[in-house]
Amino acid sequence: MSEENSGPSITQADLQAGIAQRQFSLCYQPKLDFELLNLKGFEALARWDHPTLGQIMPNVFIPLAEEHGLVGRLTELVVDMAFKWFKTTPGAQTHTLSINFSAKRLSNLDFAYWLYEVCRRAAIRPDSVILEVTEAGMLEQRLQAHDMFDRLRSQGFQVAVDDFGTGGNSKLMIQRLPINELKIDKSIGIEASHSQEARAYIKSIVEFGHSLGIKVAVGGVEDQDTLNYCRSVGVDFAYGFLISKPMTGEEAAEWILHRRQLTHKLLF
């Protein structure tokens, strides 16, 4: 599976057909909770299983969807798939479900209410759903960000800032926003294995986040030393290949059943 997609020429019609034919699937990556010493929840990660080009990653198709006004339909499809998995997977609903959203989509006035209605119909508690918006996307929507997060929070949802540390300096903005979680970008988690600066950065963001009552997650945790370091400086949650690669819905269902054994070896 290629993580870097050098940008095959995909047209608007391709994407339209892809959405109509539901050529998309979700993988699920577990998030480890250092306080619970257990699985906290899953992040749903979208993939486009293109019939001829193979698997296409979100960093390619999301900008395209935004450009062609298809992000709304794509969001509906992703939410539908993620909620179906969440509802039908035994034990999933005792955990959280993080979903990536385009900040452009969230700024829509009706969005929070629409999502609330979808949750209500599916009998999913809004507080188990975490909406992830990238730091760059949030900065782009800086004028709407406060209202949009407020609307989401008042419907009971949680909000996370994704890819934190890569999208410009949003610290001042974050201080004024109702945010539940900061997710330090995986490039920084990966670097932390060999870079003292990356480790110092993680530590400083933990202090910053906690001073505002915001939980801090680190992505890209690939080795035990980085996991131990994160835990020692008070990071709340970790994601990464050390814990698990993104899995199919069925594999993630299996993971839930065996999570105690799977997380035990990393933490004790």
Residue nearest to ligand G (CB): 240
61 neighbors 15 (Cβ within 8 angstroms): yes
Question: Cβ 222 to ligand G, closest distance in Å?
Answer: 5
**Does 190 sit near ligand G (CB under 6 A)?**
yes
**Does 246 sit near ligand G (CB under 6 A)?**
yes
Question: Cβ 239 to ligand G, closest distance in Å?
Answer: 6
Contacts of 37 (CB under 8 A, 6+ apart): 263, 267
- The Cα-based distances of 4 to 14, 56, 59, 253 in angstroms read 20, 9, 9, 27
- The Cα-based distances of 157 to 153, 190, 220 in angstroms read 5, 29, 25
Nearer to ligand G, 114 or 241 (CB): 241
Question: Cβ 92 to ligand G, closest distance in Å?
Answer: 19
What is the rounded distance in angstroms from the CA atom of residue 237 to the CA atom of residue 36?
10
What is the rounded distance in angstroms from the CA atom of residue 132 to the CA atom of residue 215?
13
Question: Cβ 25 to Mn ion, closest distance in Å?
Answer: 16
Binding at 249: pick from Mn ion, ligand G, none (beta carbon under 5-8 Å per type):
none
The token duo for 181 is 């979680």
Question: Cβ 182 to ligand G, closest distance in Å?
Answer: 12
Size of the site for Mn ion (CB under 5 A): 3
Nearer to ligand G, 157 or 164 (CB): 164
Q: Which of 238, 234, 190 is nearest to 217 (CA)?
A: 238
Chain residues 83-102 in contact with ligand G, contact rule CB under 6 A = 100
**Does 181 sit near Mn ion (CB under 5 A)?**
no
Binding mask 133-172 for Mn ion (x = CB under 5 A): -----------------------------x----------
Chain residues 39-68 in contact with ligand G, contact rule CB under 6 A = 45
Residues forming beta bridges with residue 238, ordered by sequence position: 32, 218
Q: Which of 122, 42, 116, 125 is nearest to 83 (CA)?
A: 122
Nearer to ligand G, 16 or 187 (CB): 187
Nearer to ligand G, 60 or 146 (CB): 60
Q: Which stretch binds Mn ion (CB under 5 A): 68-76, 97-105, 111-119, 250-258?
A: 97-105
Helix axes 58-67, 12-20, angle to 10 degrees: 110
**Does 239 sit near ligand G (CB under 6 A)?**
yes
Indicate the DSSP class of residue 168.
Answer: S
Q: Which stretch binds ligand G (CB under 6 A): 103-111, 137-145, 191-199, 235-243?
A: 235-243
* Chosen residue from 33, 132, 135, 185 binding Mn ion by CB under 5 A: 132
What is the rounded distance in angstroms from the CA atom of residue 191 to the CA atom of residue 214?
23
Beta-carbon count within 10 A of 197 CB: 10
Question: Cβ 150 to ligand G, closest distance in Å?
Answer: 24
Q: What residue ranges bind Mn ion (CB under 5 A)?
A: 100, 132, 162
